[in-house]
Chain A
Amino acid sequence: MGIHVEGVSKWVLRDCSFELPSGSVTALVGANGAGKTTLLSLLAGLLSADSGQVRADGRVAFVAQDKPLYKHFTATDALSFGKHTNKVWDQERAVGWLSRFGVPLKRASGRLSGGQRAHISFAVALGSRPDVLLLDEPLSELDPLVRKEVTAALLGFVADEGTTLVLSTHVVSELSGVADRLLLLAQGELLVSGEVDDLLGSHVSYVGPVSTAAPGPGDVVLARHTAAQSQFLVRTPSPVSVAEPWVSRPVSLEDLVLAHLEVAE
């Protein structure tokens, strides 16, 4: 097991329990203030839980949302810092990341762009060859054009090494094709936890004439009504086909997340 969390409470977080297998890639989603950063800080060992147990197997690296760095350190200094504070250090890997994204090595990080600083933070985290990598809003400082490339590169690294990756985001559109597991937090409560494939298989959308009740089985997550039609997003272990004039449609990960978040508001 890569990560094991049982009955954890801390600040906004209430009684969270889940397990993430090693080598899994998990998206942690939720509105701002839902407890994503608190949860990641607990997993990183930067905070102690008020109650419950947190266990991350192996060495953990954490990149905070605002990508803090010592202003006077150059990228080279930051990598030396990583080398001197970690049991394992892969200089080649860290330098490789910086050169791939064109980060100058000899300029103080206070004089670099937000994106360049983010790359230095990633390089330090990847250079320490962690067993568990925790990234808080990793793409927030990056130019939209390079987000896809950075995501692909990060996923490539963790796939090669069998690293357990947890990344938080509130940009739901960035999720598709990235994560194989989902954790959805709302106001400190874990609403959804599981494999993306299972979650997509157990949610379905019914669309049909205006109605107050869903035409098929399942717990209604979100109901939407317009003058002409009703739409129900339901959670059910085994979606069934519904009678005409209703149609059932599969949901995308984005639909699923947005529905749960909207209801939790």
Chain B
Amino acid sequence: MTGLLWVTWRQHRAVVSWTTVLVLVVVLFSPDLIDWAFRNAFGAVVAVFWGAPLVAREFEERTYLVAWGQDVSPARWLAVKCGLLGSAAVVLAALLDVRQIGFTLFGFALGVVAGFVTRRTVPAIAFTLVGYVLVRWLFAGETSVWLFESSVLCGVFGAVLIPVAFVLLSWRTNAFRMGVA
């Protein structure tokens, strides 16, 4: 592994590993009730444990000064982290239920944005959880809202939130400066 792929794995391997194990156990062995509950909670798990700490912890422990102070530009750092972790979350969501993909993407993006807003891990988690549950509740049920199924709608929200994260990044730092490793 090289470059930011190494960095992403080294920093997030623990949370990615335990989430993967949990998903595999649920998919392969779990009884129906736990199965149903976990499938529906997966987006929240990714939101709270993958998305929210992503930048909140960097601010809280002041390591953003290290992460964004190397040759790699902050924008590239965020793009690679969101790309890799977002893709991994989508694959795991798809293993559970295709409908979870949209919810999971939304949760992840909401968590990242919350991290920029609060700059603290625990408030970012709280903010994310409240926002996630609120949106899931507003667009609950199997019925379609505005012609979209709620999962698709949440996926669209997630796709909108990711550019918001880049705007917030460029407020905090000289995100797109030259120099790419």
Interface positions of A (Cβ within 8 A of B)? 44-48, 59, 61-62, 64, 66, 68-71, 73, 77, 80-82, 84-88, 121, 124, 128
Do B6 and A80 touch across chains, with their CB atoms under 8 A apart?
yes
For A45, list chain B residues within 8 Å (CB): 69, 173-174, 177, 179
Do B7 and A84 touch across chains, with their CB atoms under 8 A apart?
yes
Do B181 and A69 touch across chains, with their CB atoms under 8 A apart?
no
Which 6 pairs of residues, A with B, have the shortest CB-CB distance? A85-B70, A68-B62, A64-B65, A86-B71, A85-B72, A84-B6
Q: Which of A46, A59, A77 contacts B179 (CB 8 A)?
A: A59
Do A44 and B6 touch across chains, with their CB atoms under 8 A apart?
no
Do A86 and B70 touch across chains, with their CB atoms under 8 A apart?
yes
Interface positions of B (Cβ within 8 A of A)? 2-4, 6-7, 10-11, 61-63, 65-72, 77, 173-174, 177, 179, 181
Q: Which of A46, A59, A70, A73 contacts B71 (CB 8 A)?
A: A59
Q: Which of A48, A68, A77, A80 contacts B63 (CB 8 A)?
A: A68
For B63, list chain A residues within 8 Å (CB): 68-70
Do A68 and B65 touch across chains, with their CB atoms under 8 A apart?
yes
Main SS class of interface, A:
loop
Do A70 and B11 touch across chains, with their CB atoms under 8 A apart?
yes
Do B174 and A128 touch across chains, with their CB atoms under 8 A apart?
no
Q: Roughly how many angstroms separate A81 CA and B68 CA in the complex, as a whole number?
A: 12
Most chain A CB neighbours (cut-off 10 Å) among B62, B70, B181:
B70
Most chain A CB neighbours (cut-off 10 Å) among B6, B173, B181:
B181
Do A85 and B179 touch across chains, with their CB atoms under 8 A apart?
no
Chain B residue nearest in CB terms to A77 = B10
A-B contact pairs, 27 of them (CB 8 A): A45-B69, A45-B173, A45-B174, A46-B69, A46-B173, A46-B174, A47-B173, A48-B173, A61-B70, A64-B65, A64-B66, A68-B65, A68-B66, A69-B63, A69-B66, A70-B61, A70-B66, A73-B10, A81-B10, A82-B70, A84-B6, A85-B4, A85-B70, A85-B72, A86-B70, A86-B181, A124-B66
Seed contacts A61-B69, A68-B61; 6 additional CB < 8 Å A-B pairs:
A45-B69, A48-B174, A68-B65, A85-B181, A86-B70, A86-B181
Q: Roughly how many angstroms separate A225 CA and B152 CA in the complex, as a whole number?
A: 79
For A87, list chain B residues within 8 Å (CB): 71, 179, 181
Beyond A68-B61, A68-B65, whether A81 also contacts B7 by CB under 8 A is yes
For B71, list chain A residues within 8 Å (CB): 59, 85-88, 128
Chain A residue nearest in CB terms to B177 = A45
Do A85 and B7 touch across chains, with their CB atoms under 8 A apart?
yes
For B177, list chain A residues within 8 Å (CB): 45
For A128, list chain B residues within 8 Å (CB): 70-71
For B10, list chain A residues within 8 Å (CB): 73, 77, 80-81
Do A46 and B68 touch across chains, with their CB atoms under 8 A apart?
yes
Do A62 and B174 touch across chains, with their CB atoms under 8 A apart?
no
Shortest distance between the CB of B66 and any CB in chain A (Å) = 6
